[in-house]
Structure 1
């Protein structure tokens, strides 16, 4: 059941996505898919069979047999929906399009966010807008719409276009992949991706510890929002990786936010002294005014006196690329050690 905060969190996330500040404010590739063995590239998650099928344009005979068949599916907010067994034309409206891409499903319609690591793969996907454009959706002739929102009024309108299911884009990555694997008839692909991802994540943290990352080190993630507003990230995007299994620790103040299931919180510059960890991660914003605010922050005495800054343990990530979807996670598994190992 979704909390009142989660509702507010989701609406804020979508609004920020539209303003191009990243799905990371809440929330949380092709570049990650290489031929290098996992042992040589711990951050690499192998390309799964779904991706191979997409690239070759082939479809299994089992999938062909399922085309046109339907089944019942109970969605995130409790609707029981008659959906295709093997959807052919999917619209995904939400923050984690990369989850579908990782399963080899390229939606015909998406909530477009420029600058994602998988942009090339969704270049032909239609932007269905924010709010969701029913008119654009009708023109795409979808057989399934996945709607990452709990707004019943919007759902009622959208569900008139095609079978529509709600989807919790702020569930854990593993939960999301399994749900989508079930919904899209990609269960095995989802399990394969999860297994490869878990292995790659373990290898990445081992590599970082082999290069000086100590057990119990704390991390904090900050970003500037237009209007000179400073946010600390907690339960979405990059922090989900940092605070995951075998990873780093949140500081006590960030742990409080996590305990309250908060994705982020606005703070004062002075508050950074209480929140900053042994290592600091900065999500570089998109807009010019937020970039200027970031520069001013780093010129401040508060910033310069933080222990992590003095120790040179500050790392910068593009806020759009460092998102919480599966494809962005693959990218982060490579990018994190590249930045942290000097």
Structure 2
């Protein structure tokens, strides 16, 4: 190139001034081209950055969704929660969905038929320990406690939902399945359960249980406190569509959404049904109260007692969770002989 330019300079009559102008124009066009290319690259980078930001925002939005619990709290929860702190009854519902929590109140699962199936779950205490809950770093908290102050405290740790653990199984399990992204699993389980439940009541009716018969579920707690169950425990399975019926006063408690009602021995006859179920407590004091009741004249005069329609079972084996309900489908026909 140098040699070629040298030859031109020697032999050519081209004016040096036009040559300099020509060279200047080339430099100017080159500079303009570089600027345009730079602007284009900048625009492309900005577009790429915008697309990346939008993609990230969409990805983040897809990982959470708004959920409104039965007490009206609307909160953004993980689409598929991985670390759940569960505080309340019916932990066995989670198990049929194939879900384990990272923490729960282990006192609520002691003595339950599914106790051995609960694995690698930390104890959150009772009442719930906030520091222990925080240490577990949950991405979702499900609580049966309706205390607003505690809800506010838990909400500072992770998204928190108030959950109605006393709701009927067919409603409760679907809601829980929706929360943990297992709704289809819940619906499939319920469909199979309904078939098995109908078969169980057919067996019981063949054993002499008559349509329209009433039932009552009683239990003692320490302190000589007598309760009749309404929305909770064994009564949920007994009062299903094809099952036994609540007595009028128990129906009143159900209509008022009560889980149970405390009563005195003197009025037990007003709640007693055609069939009576006694739930044994692990408390020795409560067992003693039960024994004294069953020796009383008031008890011995009840029609269900006189007809031999009294059935006893440990309270821990009569929960209303899905795992226990499935077990009870086999056990109730054995109990009601």
CA RMSD of aligned residues (A): 1.9
Distance 1:198 1:231 in 2: 29
User: Equivalent residue of 1:82, what SS?
Assistant: strand
Give the equivalent residue in structure 2 for 1:75.
Answer: 69
Would the alpha carbon gap of residues 84 and 230 (structure 1) be closer, same or farther in structure 2, given more than 3 Å must change? Answer: same
What do residues 224-269 of structure 1 show as CA deviations (whole Å, max 9, x unaligned)?
A: 1212222222222111111111011122232232233322222222
Aligned length: 277
What do residues 12-45 of structure 1 show as CA deviations (whole Å, max 9, x unaligned)?
A: xxxxxxxxxxxxxxxxxxxxxxxxxxxxxxxxxx
2:190 maps to 1:194:
yes
Give the equivalent residue in structure 2 for 1:271.
Answer: 267
Would the alpha carbon gap of residues 259 and 82 (structure 1) be closer, same or farther in structure 2, given more than 3 Å must change? Answer: closer
2:84 maps to 1:87:
no
> In the TM superposition, what is the alpha-carbon distance from 1:72 to its structure 2 partner?
2.0
Give the equivalent residue in structure 2 for 1:331.
Answer: 327
2:254 maps to 1:258:
yes
What do residues 252-288 of structure 1 show as CA deviations (whole Å, max 9, x unaligned)?
A: 2322322333222222223222321111100111211
2:72 maps to 1:98:
no
Distance 1:315 1:292 in 2: 17
Decide whether the 8 Å contact of 1:303 with 1:309 is kept in 2. Answer: yes
Decide whether the 8 Å contact of 1:115 with 1:321 is kept in 2. Answer: yes
Aligned equivalent of 2:203, options 199, 207, 227:
207
Give the equivalent residue in structure 2 for 1:227.
Answer: 223
What do residues 80-111 of structure 1 show as CA deviations (whole Å, max 9, x unaligned)?
A: 22222111111111112111111110101012
Tell me the TM-score normalized by structure 1.
0.77
Distance 1:254 1:165 in 2: 29
Distance 1:121 1:270 in 2: 41
User: Equivalent residue of 2:313, what SS?
Assistant: strand
2:280 maps to 1:284:
yes
Tell me the TM-score normalized by structure 2.
0.78
Which one has a larger percent helix, Structure 1 or Structure 2? 2
Give the equivalent residue in structure 2 for 1:19.
Answer: none
> In the TM superposition, what is the alpha-carbon distance from 1:203 to its structure 2 partner?
0.9
Structure number with higher relative contact order (C-alpha < 8 Å, ≥ 6 residues apart): 1
Decide whether the 8 Å contact of 2:167 with 2:231 is kept in 1. Answer: no
Distance 2:251 2:134 in 1: 44
Larger radius of gyration: 2
Distance 1:278 1:169 in 2: 28
Aligned equivalent of 2:159, options 160, 163, 172:
163
Distance 2:158 2:178 in 1: 18
Give the equivalent residue in structure 2 for 1:315.
Answer: 311
Decide whether the 8 Å contact of 1:95 with 1:111 is kept in 2. Answer: no
Distance 2:312 2:200 in 1: 18
Q: Runs of 5+ in structure 1 lacking a partner?
A: 1-64
